[in-house]
């Protein structure tokens, strides 16, 4: 989620293979149903796919990264407004 200079909130799907920075993929909307699959196909080779089941947008790719703990994570993030989390 980002807030550009015009103040409009934008949401996006992204991935990150540490230690690299995140890679933005496509715009999403609050309430969209998302799906993701992450597989290590061989040592250090990762096959990734994610899709917005609500809009029908999908993305997949392979990438190389050495995972210290050989694990993957799916994270949904939100900002806090006042003392309550913002709706996703």
pTM tops 0.85, yes or no: no
The two three-digit tokens of residue 41, written as one number = 């196909």
pLDDT, tens only, 15-26 = 887 777 888 999
pLDDT of residue 57: 96
How far, in Å, CA of 7 to CA of 12, rounded?
16
> By mean pLDDT, which of 20-24, 50-54, 63-67, 74-78 is the weakest?
74-78
pLDDT, tens only, 40-56 = 888 878 898 999 999 99
**Cα 36-66-11 angle, rounded to 5 deg:** 35
CA 40 to chain centre: 17
């Amino acid at each position: 989620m980002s807030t550009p200079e015009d103040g409009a909130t934008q949401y996006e799907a992204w991935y990150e293979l540490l230690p690299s920075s995140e890679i933005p993929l496509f715009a999403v909307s609050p309430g969209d149903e998302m799906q993701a699959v992450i597989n290590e196909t061989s040592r250090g080779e990762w096959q990734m796919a994610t899709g917005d089941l609500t809009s029908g947008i999908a993305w997949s790719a392979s990438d190389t990264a050495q995972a210290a703990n050989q694990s993957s994570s799916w994270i949904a993030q939100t900002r806090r407004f006042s003392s309550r989390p913002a709706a996703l």
